[in-house]
A and B are shown apart, each in its own frame.
Chain A
Amino acid sequence: MFREGEGVDVDEILSVREVSKSYGGKVAVDRVSFDMMRGDILGLLGPNGAGKTSIIRIIMGIIAADAGTVSLFSHDGRGAMDKARVGYLPEERGLYEDSRVIDNLVYLASLKGMNPAAGRRKALQWLERLSLAENAGQKLEHLSKGMQQKVQFIASVLHDPDLLVLDEPFSGLDPVNQDLFKDLIRELRDEGKAILLSAHQMNVVEELCDRIFLINRGREILYGDLSEIKRSHRESVIDFSFDPESNLGFLDSLSDIRVVGRRNGSISLRYAGDREPIDIVSFLSSHITLEEVSVRKPPLHEIFVGTVMERGDEIEEI
């Protein structure tokens, strides 16, 4: 289900077109399409069971799509050389625990087509960088979970791939290592690598991704530039604080407003009308004395839930 990609932009790394996949009649991926360019960080987002891992496995050639095409590096992606240009950190992690760290890394680098000596050299550089040089000769089972996660990450980037597919890279990581991984991902993006980042923790992904592909029950919910998606989302969140003695009866005259949080002296409103949020703030200030005001777009998670609800879908595991 891969296509020949003649005449495609040389910066195009990945093109997924109308890809579908079912398991025993149950649709896991339903006509999904998206593209990735060099230097992109695309967030593949959705709840557990939304179809993210199936899409990733199709891209990696681990499973076959029932329909649609996947084009890697602007040409037929079935060849071994294409797999060598892709790095993969699967959600279901694992290495050979009874083998040495360095042996694991050299073996996986060899499978990616690297010369074993070059693989060893590069592995030692990465281990040094992630403060694991002293553990190179140890069996993996003697390392902590956090250290094993780092080794797993090294295995995915060791062969200097052009496309890096990271499936839930932050799960099980402590905050320090989460920050470390975020820095590494940004660094790899700056080197021109395309990074497909799958996660269900949308707040974490919001920090890193330029573009997102939101999926639910195998179908596209939102796709595009993250800031553009947020901008085009009608709803705004207005948080303000005021004198607690103020009379708020005037709020009932406003349509398209929902009070979503109320504490003594502060309120959080959702506004989805045609007027600009600043007009609402002016309206508020004409009735009460505002002490603090902030206007923002709702977090991605709420945009996702709102969009799914608008479509009449359910957020449910497949």
Chain B
Amino acid sequence: MKRFDFGRIITVARWEFIRTIKSPTFLVLTIVVPLIILLSGGLSVITSRVAETESLDIAVRDELGDFYGYLDAELVGSPLPSGVNVFEFTDDADSAERELRAGSFDAMLTVNSDAVAEGSISAITGDRQEARINVISGPLSRAVTAYRLGGLGLSSGEIASATGSVSIEARALDQEDVNGWIGEMLVPTAVAMVLIFSAVFSGQIMMYGVIKEKRNRVVEILLSSVSALDLLIGKLIGFGGLGLLQIAVWVGIGLLVAGRFFDLSGVTPSLGDGLIYLAYFVLGYLLLASMFAALGATMKDAEGGGQVQGLVVLVPMVPVFLAGPLVASPNATWARLISHIPPFIPSSVLLRMAGTNLPTWEIVSTLTILALSVMGFIYLSARIFEGGILRFERATTLREAARMATGNGDR
């Protein structure tokens, strides 16, 4: 049984943490990239808000003579966004077009018997890019329906009763209060994504570090002072710390910027949820990073690492590609099934947690499987790491890696 040398493990972890935190790659990934994403996201929010404040005047030519009353009633019941003005234009079509060209208003709708019969109302806009005309489609559609019902002899009260809208007000069985879309879905999904990407980035930086140590031959000096297993564990701890720091920075920047645009009160996860997220992140990171470290040890150079690693990265990322269905149907049998397959556990469970409260038994079972597989992965990775790290001349083949993992390779 190998003995761990914790002093040396911590020395390796500290070195990797301090060295990497100063590297341009880490700084860019941790600070610059999220800032760019948030800035571009913030810009789109700002531009959409600016667009909302611009005025839009819509003229309605009512060739039927009694339609505008129905539309007006709808507009009173459900007001349009501020800046959007709808009014009736009573002159003929030619003068309406002249006024539109002159810029007296931005769009013109013509309602006649054909339009009501066919459910298709023609609209002319002064600007080809004016897509905001659609803001009126809802009230217009309801007004046409009401007009048709009026034509059948229903009173305004009966029409209102027949066309009243229906909405679903959902409440989870074990929740007193629902925070709305942001609290329920967006924040947990964002947290899940942050954890998954941080684990992948940290693992990748570690893998390229291993390849670099191999390429510049420093690894032989390291192994003359520390065992391969201690070196691997030291690296896992060091880069894990970097991952946590990265998450703190991302979440901090995210909350700071998102707080400017959204009301985030009440969406902070509870301490219990936070600890569960952390457990999945730590174990998920260890699983991925040990895989990446072993992969790095078998590569001759970073180029080879990039190609094969790209394929390996895809395996734990599979649930991310299924994020939509996982969040929408978190309790489906298939979702439960992939949440118990080791490489898929961290990302699938975190995404499902965005859509539902997982039962305790499932958290316990997935964490147990994950913890056991992490131990197995680290053990196998250490063997491959040990066997492959000193092969400077060429990359290790899959067959050789398998022999190393099973203890039949050269060491």
Contact = CB atoms under 8 A, between A and B. Distances in A.
Interface of A: 23-24, 57, 60-64, 80, 83-84, 86, 88, 90, 92-99, 107-108, 110-113, 155
A210 to B, nearest CB: 24
18 contacts: A60-B223, A62-B224, A63-B390, A64-B411, A80-B5, A84-B225, A86-B224, A88-B224, A90-B221, A90-B224, A92-B392, A94-B217, A94-B219, A95-B221, A107-B15, A108-B221, A111-B222, A111-B226
Nearest to A90: B220
A94 B218 contact: yes
Contact of A92 (B220, B222, B226): B220
Interface of B: 5, 7-8, 11-12, 15, 19, 23, 216-227, 390, 392, 410-411
B216 A62 contact: no
B218 A95 contact: yes
Given A62-B223, A90-B220, A96 B7 contact: no
Contact of B225 (A24, A63, A83): A83
Contacts of B227: 61
Given A80-B5, A94-B217, A113-B7, A60 B19 contact: no
B220 A62 contact: yes
A62 B225 CA distance: 9
A93 B390 CA distance: 12
Contacts of B23: 98
Interface centre among A57, A62, A63, A108 (most CB of B within 10 A): A62
Contacts of A93: 217
Contacts of A61: 224, 227
Contacts of A155: 221
Contact of A110 (B11, B217, B224): B11
Nearest to B400: A24
A60 B411 contact: no
Interface centre among B19, B220, B227 (most CB of A within 10 A): B220
A86 B15 CA distance: 22
Given A94-B217, A95-B221, 7 more contacts: A61-B227, A80-B5, A80-B8, A88-B220, A94-B218, A96-B218, A155-B221
Contacts of A24: 410
Nearest to A89: B221
B220 A63 contact: no
A107 B11 contact: yes
Nearest to B5: A80
Contacts of A113: 7
B376 to A, nearest CB: 22
Contact of B216 (A60, A88, A94): A94
B101 to A, nearest CB: 66
Contact of B221 (A23, A80, A94, A99): A94
A193 B222 CA distance: 22
A23 B12 contact: no
B5 A96 contact: no
Interface centre among A84, A92, A155 (most CB of B within 10 A): A92
B321 to A, nearest CB: 36
Nearest to A28: B410
A112 B225 contact: yes
Nearest to B2: A78
A245 to B, nearest CB: 59
Interface centre among B12, B223, B227 (most CB of A within 10 A): B223
A60 B219 CA distance: 13
B390 A62 contact: yes
Contact of A111 (B12, B19, B217, B392): B12
